[in-house]
Amino acid sequence: MTKNKKHVALLFGGNSSEHDVSKRSAHNIYDAMDKDKYEVSLFLITKNGIVLSNEASHRVFDGEDEADVVKDEIPKLDMNNPLAPIINFDSTSDIDVFFPIIHGNLGEDGTIQGLLRLMNKPYVGSGILASSMAYDKDITKKILDEAGINNTKYVLLTPDNRKDWNYDKLAAKLGSLMFIKPANQGSSIGIHQVHNQAELESGLNDAFRYDNKILIEEAIEGPEEVEISILGNEDPKASKLGAIKVPADDKFYTYDNKFVDASQVQFTIPVQLPDGVDEQITKMALGAYKALGLKGMARIDFLVSKDFKPYLSEVNTLPGFTNISLYPQLWEASGISYTDLIDQLIELAYAEFNRQSKILHDFKPLQKGDQKKVYEDK
């Protein structure tokens, strides 16, 4: 590797429903990275949680079928070794910084962040606790409520209390139209619109396939879906706003709208809102970012009601970087190119790593006799 280049490891894939989306995001990031600045290694995490080597990951990047590559690589691993799933990380000693772009499970829930923290390596994005809190919609809403940030009302269902709630009881609390959402899932997976008891039952049966915590949320009348991108650590900045209008036949912004066929989806970037609404959304987004302790980046989604009241809908700590993803598009509209955005994210990773390293360096563990002195001082 050329010494004046930073060695960046792209981590992508994972065992979530967003595996293929993550692969597309990683491809776009790789293509946009300035190769005069960066040496890039690839580490694909398979659908069953095995980290492939850089060489094998490049084979998938270059168009080989992932299943065929996995079939070749798995026999090379000693599966009696408990570290076998991550053994290919043993080649990362000269990696300067990691760029995880694993959407959903393993990537946004704090799992990969914990491993990278244990490896004592800088990485792009939020830390362990912030990632896991923002990934869990129930926990996110509790923190938003504590911070005074407006969001939709909801009832939390689990296998233990599911039998205590029916459509009529929920409708009395939330209104006749509701949405089912798994607490720990992304990209509209497991989401269902509910008008009656039959739809509630079938929707819950599907949602509980993905999580044991299910949110039943109120529906906002005639909402406009508005998104904003956030970039930064302690002093984050916000992009311009973008709006999404889905086809009339679709009830909400579905997985297919997002990643399969967006040809019928209308994106408005930047979006014009009545006076004061865009400032209100920006303030809410930055407030949520800080309340959750996020770092690096996030895309934050809002619903704006017919009377232009904004509701914070969802926080995405590792947003998509596909060709139609709004996170980089919103920054393009705000004056930051795709390549410059990647540069800034990497610099933010170093800044946060250095901040944490200084805390550890300045920390002086108690020496023999110090504990007794502390008690005496009290």
Q: Which residues are catalytic?
A: 18, 187, 325
Phi, psi of 290, rounded to the nearest 5 degrees: -75, -40
Phi, psi of 142, rounded to the nearest 5 degrees: -60, -40
Is the backbone of residue 106 left (phi > 0), alpha (psi -120 to 50) or beta? left
Instruction: Pull the structure tokens for residue 171.
Output: 């409708």
Nearest to 42 by CA among 25, 64, 28, 26: 26
Cβ contacts of 356 within 8 Å, gap of 6 or more: none
Binding residues for Mg(2+): 301, 314, 316
The rounded distance, in Å, linking the Cα atoms of 350 and 97 is 8
Instruction: Pull the structure tokens for residue 264.
Output: 């019928």
Beta bridge partners of 241: 228
Instruction: Pull the structure tokens for residue 247.
Output: 């086809």
- What does the buried/exposed string (b/e) look like for 116-140 if buried means 16 or more CB atoms within 10 Å of the residue's CB? beeeebbbbbbbbebbbbbbbbbbb
The rounded distance, in Å, linking the Cα atoms of 250 and 245 is 10
| CA distances from residue 213 to 28, 45, 159 in whole angstroms, order as listed | 33, 26, 8
Is the backbone of residue 222 left (phi > 0), alpha (psi -120 to 50) or beta? left
Is the backbone of residue 175 left (phi > 0), alpha (psi -120 to 50) or beta? left
CB distance 196 to 168 below 8 Å: no
Binding residues: 301, 314, 316
